[in-house]
Amino acid sequence: MNQCRNGTFPQPDAAVTALENATVKDLSVAFASASVGGDKLPRRPGYGTLGRPVVLWTNYFKLQGIDTSKANFYRYSLSFPNILNLKEFPKPKRKRTIQLLLQEQPFNGTSCASDWAQVVISTRKLGFGDGTDKAHYDIEWYPADGQPLPPASPDDSEEIKKARKRNTIQVLVELIETVSLSELMKDLEFSVSGALYPAKMEMIQTLNIILSLGPSTDANIVTVGQNRYYPIQGHDQFAPYNLGQGLQALRGYFSSARTSVGRILLNINVATGSFYKAGPLLDLMREFGQPENATQHKKLANFVKKLRFETNYLPDKGKDGKPKKGNAGKSAVKRKVHTISDLSQFKQNAGNIKFTQINASGQRKQISVEQYFLQEYGIKLQVPGAPVVNYGTKDDPKWIPAELCTVLPGQAAKRILAPDQTRGMIDFAARPPSENALSIIGDGLKVAKVVEGLNSHLIRFGVKVDPNMLTVLGRILEAPTLNFGAVGHKPRDGKWNLTNDDAKRSKRKFFKGATINNWNCLVINEKWPTVPRELSLVDELKKFRQVLVEYGLTMGPVQTPQSVTIDSGHLLDKNSVAVRQAINGALRQFGAKPQFLFVLLPSDNAFLYDCIKYVCDVQYGIPNVCNIGKKFFKEKGQPQYQANVGLKFNLKMGGINHAIRLDELKPLDPKTIVFGIDVTHPSPGSSEDAPSIAGVVASSNSLFTQYPASIRAQKGRQEMVAGLAEMVIERIRLWQNVNKDLPNKVIVYRDGVSEGQYALVLEKEYPAFVEAFNKLYGPQQKHPKISIITVGKRHHTRFYPTKESDTDKTGNPLPGTVVDRGVTGERLFDFFLLAHQGLQGTSKPCHYVVLKDENNFGADQLQKLTHNLCYTFGRATRSVSLCPPAYYADLLCERGRSYLHNVLKNDSGMKDANVWTSGVHQAVKDAMFYL
């Protein structure tokens, strides 16, 4: 990146490029036996050539200096026989247990690393003294800042014996396997034709464990998941941002080893996470908000539940039972760490919560928490009326006043953020690509501890990381021509306007305008009127109607709008029954059901929006569009805003906003159906039995512009789509009704699948298509050809232009940038595509991986098709980052989450009386209701 500032940059590694070219020419590699390691994915048919060539920086660093002839690693599994329920063995305690294990022989005599959960890596085979490859250890646990119990003695008191038994954790260590870096390199370099190293994933995991050793053992870095590292207060790279309501965002870094053709790479990326603010618990609770009723108190209790905190009031006593001396002659105090299981009930506090105390003579008396702390520790509470923390159980509570608790740093907030917090996260995370790149090669390498001076842990394992960011070859694909009516238009910079470029600045007509004869408007009011008093709503709707007509819609006359006022308390409490009843009552005011409903909202309250969608989509079957009133009536930019609203009106009523010539979508043809599939999982903090949402969309016409959908709730956190065959049949039947025939080619874009789930898609979802084909087509020889492509967004690959001429206005690569070399899979048929212009921050390319390809796509064919489809998204006047079939499936699943707001998005404790499980009203099921 420093070279880039001077206008110079290194060219991509020519040896790697040559090896890539050689591998796709070698048929023995391209069609090698796929039985080894279960690798059954299509091989890359070649590398793409279309587009203008560019060189890009990428956030990868090469692992170098490895002596592969000696780089064997031994993997040991860890189990804990006396821990019956691992949920009761918190991660921090487990990590500390393994740290103590590694201080024992023979671990402390060799280089070892661990994932701090169940694996230990060693550079040599460990000798346990009995000639076996397993050993049993009794580890006496104690905290890192504490002292171990004294060696066992016959004079030990019963208290000491109980403490020793309570803190002894059994660990069983057993050799799993040996992994070889030299064998992995042979695989990556194709030095043995067709050879696949069966322990590739285990070797990569081993490297990740070694690479994580430095940051995961730094007291001022918190690890989230396996490979996200966030510096906390006290670290030089600590970077906080206040989100409000007790939370803060932290900037951290993701680090992971990856493989590509001929080399092993380290992927480092900026990561942003939300965390609880460290410090006095009482301050955290005050910032969250003082509860005024039981519902708000329940929200506060849910907010702090499972937080780890420390106390510093218990006297630290020696063996003689007398308090130890601390600083300045004061009595030493003992640091204790606990976890909040709950708060006291609403209006319960240290002054009125009482328990039975038994004194030395056996007398029993009732004493309050406030009295107890004054009596036992001489602590006079400053805020006795505050809620009290329970770190015990519901049946056996253990109370501590909140003012004596300090929240520990580095605790990730795995919860749904409030709208203002979400905006804050976006503002904090959305930095220009150049800033992110410089952060990676500066702070990122330091946090990952891979730069010289911080990498001593790596040197012990013979691993070194080149600190120079790599460059890769890319290409910029040309945008397709868009058709508005009979007029063609070539987008520039991945976007276009609904106004023509002619002298009259006339409006472009939609490709196919919908007819909406009977439409009306519903105004939702809350604390203040949604429609400004100085405006006539009817007049404003007439102006809006004229805009829609100019774009080609046939619109009925403006009718008398209706309005309803929603109780703010119902919105705050998320009382879905009351809010839905109010909306139902408002709809009844219209008399006959409108053909289309335009809803004006008082704010961006997600709960209100979700209630409207449930009532209109599921109960009544009314196509609808919701707008926030203050945005709709805002004078600045109103024509463009209302035109964008018109995009939704047209699509939801069967219109087509713009289209692409079929010859630009080859190899699609009029008998192709394109599917998008996604599964959305419960949000963090949802109950364990909360469902997932599965969605399937499919093109209903040969223009690939209309995508009706099927939607279901299914078992929570179930990765694959349940009942997929039934949904596929629903979609193909509709396609058949519209096109008067069955499709002969099926293309599937599957969203939301991680690398480890590729095989699951082939094992679970592909057979569902076969089952559907059997029912619709009969014998296998009549089945359509199918290609399945996964679309990945949750990855950490980023690209940065090396030349200013190759950047968009945000500093990101230009729309149409595609990369299938340098950092792609060594055998996969995959590519990265950045199809859109960045709006803010660093653009994220989508990663496409072909899992099945009966249509025998070429690299250029599939890349161009996918890129051009990104211009067919009907709800925007720009190309989009995610291929629209997958994008629509994602929106569809999010709509399903709206129907289950109080199950999947709720923190108030309010539950729905009627829980949605599948589908929408018959009247809208074959429309794009989810846009």
Judge whether residue 34 has pLDDT over 50: no
* Environment class of 266 (CB within 10 Å of its CB; exposed 0-12, middle 13-18, buried 19+): buried
Q: What separation, in Å, do the N-terminal and C-terminal C-alpha atoms of the chain show?
A: 41
Judge whether residue 606 has pLDDT over 50: yes
Does 293 fall in a domain?
Answer: yes
**pLDDT for res 323:** 67
Residues 311 and 387 occupy one common structural domain: yes
pLDDT digits (tens, 9 = 90+) for 428-448: 999 999 999 999 999 999 999
Does 505 fall in a domain?
Answer: no
pLDDT digits (tens, 9 = 90+) for 237-292: 999 999 999 999 999 999 999 999 999 999 999 999 999 999 999 999 999 998 98
The boundaries of the domain holding residue 616 are 513-652
Judge whether residue 27 has pLDDT over 60: no
Residues 616 and 680 occupy one common structural domain: no
Burial 426-455 (b: 16+ CB within 10 A, else e): eebbebebbebbbbbbebbbbbbbbeeebb
Does 863 fall in a domain?
Answer: yes
HSE at residue 750, side-chain half, CA atoms within 13 A, is 27
Instruction: Calculate what percentage of the chain has a pLDDT beyond 70.
Output: 94
Does 225 fall in a domain?
Answer: no
**pLDDT for res 637:** 77
Q: Give the lowest-confidence range in 37-41, 147-151, 604-608, 770-774.
A: 37-41
Structure confidence at residue 222 as a pLDDT band (50, 70, 90): very high
Residues 593 and 695 occupy one common structural domain: no
Q: What share of the chain is helix, strand, coil (3-state, %, to 5)?
A: 30, 25, 45
Query: Reduced to 3 states, what is the DSSP secondary structure of residue 755?
Result: helix
The conformation of residue 702, written as its DSSP 8-state character, comes to T
Q: Give the lowest-confidence range in 659-673, 699-713, 757-771, 903-917.
A: 903-917
**pLDDT for res 507:** 80
Q: What is the pTM of this model?
A: 0.93
Judge whether residue 28 has pLDDT over 90: no
Residues 601 and 690 occupy one common structural domain: no
pLDDT digits (tens, 9 = 90+) for 831-867: 999 999 988 899 999 999 999 999 999 999 999 999 9
- Rounded to 5°, angle at Cα 269 from 263 and 271: 150
Structure confidence at residue 476 as a pLDDT band (50, 70, 90): very high
Residues 643 and 528 occupy one common structural domain: yes
Domain harbouring 766, CATH code: 3.30.420.10
Instruction: Calculate what percentage of the chain has a pLDDT beyond 90.
Output: 78
Cα separation of 274 and 250, whole Å?
6
Structure confidence at residue 322 as a pLDDT band (50, 70, 90): low
Structure confidence at residue 611 as a pLDDT band (50, 70, 90): very high
Contact status, residue 656 vs residue 706, Cβ threshold 8 Å:
yes
The conformation of residue 589, written as its DSSP 8-state character, comes to T
Among residues 591, 621, 652, the one where a domain terminates is: 652
- Look at strands 119-122 and 333-339 and give their pairing: unpaired
* Encoded tokens for 529: 């009127």
**pLDDT for res 726:** 97
Contact status, residue 655 vs residue 513, Cβ threshold 8 Å:
yes
- Look at strands 515-516 and 228-231 and give their pairing: unpaired
Among residues 617, 652, 687, the one where a domain terminates is: 652
**pLDDT for res 908:** 61
Q: Domains in the chain: how many in total?
A: 3
Judge whether residue 673 has pLDDT over 80: yes
Judge whether residue 578 has pLDDT over 80: yes
Does 493 fall in a domain?
Answer: no
Residues 634 and 673 occupy one common structural domain: no
Judge whether residue 108 has pLDDT over 60: yes
Judge whether residue 213 has pLDDT over 50: yes
User: What's the rounded mean pLDDT across residues 394-398?
Assistant: 92
User: What's the rounded mean pLDDT across residues 549-571?
Assistant: 95
Cα separation of 15 and 20, whole Å?
9
Cα separation of 212 and 217, whole Å?
8
Residues 740 and 685 occupy one common structural domain: yes
Number of DSSP helices (H) and strands (E) in the chain, helices first: 26, 41
Among residues 605, 624, 652, the one where a domain terminates is: 652
Judge whether residue 224 has pLDDT over 90: yes
User: What's the rounded mean pLDDT across residues 36-63?
Assistant: 88
Does 736 fall in a domain?
Answer: yes
Residues 644 and 681 occupy one common structural domain: no
Judge whether residue 70 has pLDDT over 90: no
Cα separation of 100 and 911, whole Å?
46
Taking all residues of the chain, what is their mean pLDDT, rounded to a whole number?
Answer: 91
Structure confidence at residue 30 as a pLDDT band (50, 70, 90): very low
| 58 phi/psi in degrees, rounded to 5 | -140, 150
Cβ neighbors of 34 (< 8 A, separation 6 or more) are: 40, 41
**pLDDT for res 721:** 95
Structure confidence at residue 402 as a pLDDT band (50, 70, 90): very high
Structure confidence at residue 712 as a pLDDT band (50, 70, 90): very high
Q: Give the lowest-confidence range in 3-12, 375-384, 621-630.
A: 3-12
Residues 590 and 701 occupy one common structural domain: no
Structure confidence at residue 505 as a pLDDT band (50, 70, 90): low
Does 568 fall in a domain?
Answer: yes
Whole-angstrom CA distances from 171 to 119, 140, 174, 351, 441 are 12, 11, 10, 45, 39
Residues 724 and 593 occupy one common structural domain: no
Nearest alpha carbon to residue 475 among 864, 4, 908 = 864
Residues 694 and 778 occupy one common structural domain: yes
pLDDT digits (tens, 9 = 90+) for 738-759: 999 999 999 999 998 998 899 9
User: What's the rounded mean pLDDT across residues 878-904?
Assistant: 96
Domain harbouring 634, CATH code: 3.40.50.2300
- 5 compared with 369, residue with greater pLDDT: 369
HSE at residue 669, side-chain half, CA atoms within 13 A, is 8
Structure confidence at residue 196 as a pLDDT band (50, 70, 90): confident
Domain harbouring 360, CATH code: 2.170.260.10
Does 484 fall in a domain?
Answer: no
User: What's the rounded mean pLDDT across residues 696-703?
Assistant: 93
User: What's the rounded mean pLDDT across residues 525-529?
Assistant: 92
Q: Give the lowest-confidence range in 20-24, 102-106, 188-192.
A: 188-192
**pLDDT for res 35:** 32
Residues 687 and 718 occupy one common structural domain: yes
